Amino acid sequence: MKVRNEVLKEKLKKNSWSQNELAIRVGVARGTISRIMNNKRGAGRKVIGGLLRTFPEETIESLFDTKKN
């Protein structure tokens, strides 16, 4: 699933987190977060669940592009 990078970048800025800090909080490798944020891969179940736990105030629709093309 494609992450809404603009939302994720705003969350990082708001919390003063690096991609590395986000990766630790989500429970994945920092390279995984980097590839997702550079649109080189989509988010799998682990990343989706980790982001929703990290940002409980967000919905799946606000963090991810859920439209099927």
CATH of the domain at 14: 1.10.260.40
Is residue 69 included in any domain, yes or no? no
2-3/64-65 β-pairing: antiparallel
Is residue 55 included in any domain, yes or no? yes
Top pLDDT among 15 and 69 is at: 15
When divided into structural domains, the chain yields a total of 1
Is residue 17 included in any domain, yes or no? yes
Average pLDDT, the chain: 94
Is residue 26 included in any domain, yes or no? yes
Domain carrying residue 57: 2-63
Is residue 58 included in any domain, yes or no? yes
CA pair distance 23, 27, nearest whole angstrom = 6
Model pLDDT for residues 12-30, shown as the tens digit of each residue: 999 999 999 999 999 999 9
pTM above 0.85, yes or no: yes
pLDDT score, position 55? 97
